[in-house]
Amino acid sequence: MNLPNKLTTLRMLLVPVFIVLFLMGMNIPATVVFVGASMTDYFDGYLARKNNLVTNYGKIMDPLADKLLVTSALVCLVQTGDVPAWMVIVILAREFAIMGLRTVAASEGIVIAAAWSGKIKTASQMFAIFLLLLNNWPFSLIGIPMAKIMLWIAVIMTIYSGCEYIYKNRRVFSEM
């Protein structure tokens, strides 16, 4: 297994560690684990492209690892009342829809590449979660609700990127 795939696997293995720490009320260690896991998302893709190590494992498991990390954190934050459930439902609906679209496309021999809007969506979700885990620090010191603002940006980017993926790949639906 190459290094990018090991980083992807590490990200998935860190999800239960994050959940346990979060549910034990250990927000700072949970945040450190979340940030470390989030950083592997950047590095696994960067290393895979730079060193020509793109694999089928990475193509499948990298987006799955992202979704496991983000949705686990969001569900934990719903439990604490920090994130409205409807926002998580919107995010999950988009993820299921695009996963379904990719599955149908793959069965037809069509590869749906990651779009920039999807990358921005993931980054905005991760940054919003980071701020929520830290109770909006350091922005709470100056009275700016940046965590909530980033959460709204994440939801908006989730909707936008989902619509973009569906629109750009509408030919998949015509072949059904």
Q: Are 158 and 119 in contact (CB under 8 A)?
A: no
Residue 102 pLDDT exceeds 90: no
User: At residue 116, does pLDDT exceed 70?
Assistant: yes
Collapse the DSSP code of 24 into the 3-class scheme (helix H, G, I; strand E, B; otherwise coil) and give the result. coil
Smallest Cα–Cα separation from 69: which of 112, 114, 33?
33
Average pLDDT over residues 18-26: 97
- 123 near 117, Cβ under 8 Å? no
Please give the residue range of the domain that contains residue 15: 3-174
Comparing C-alpha atoms, which of 53, 96, 103, 51 is closest to residue 71? Answer: 96
- For the chain, how many structural domains are there in total? 1
Indicate which CATH number applies to the domain containing 165.
Answer: 1.20.120.1760
Task: Read off the pLDDT of residues 141-168 as tens digits, 9 standing for 90 and up.
Answer: 999 999 999 999 999 999 999 999 999 9
**pLDDT score for 156:** 98
The C-alpha atoms of residue 49 and residue 62 are separated, in whole angstroms, by 13
pLDDT digits (tens, 9 = 90+) for 73-88: 999 999 999 999 999 9
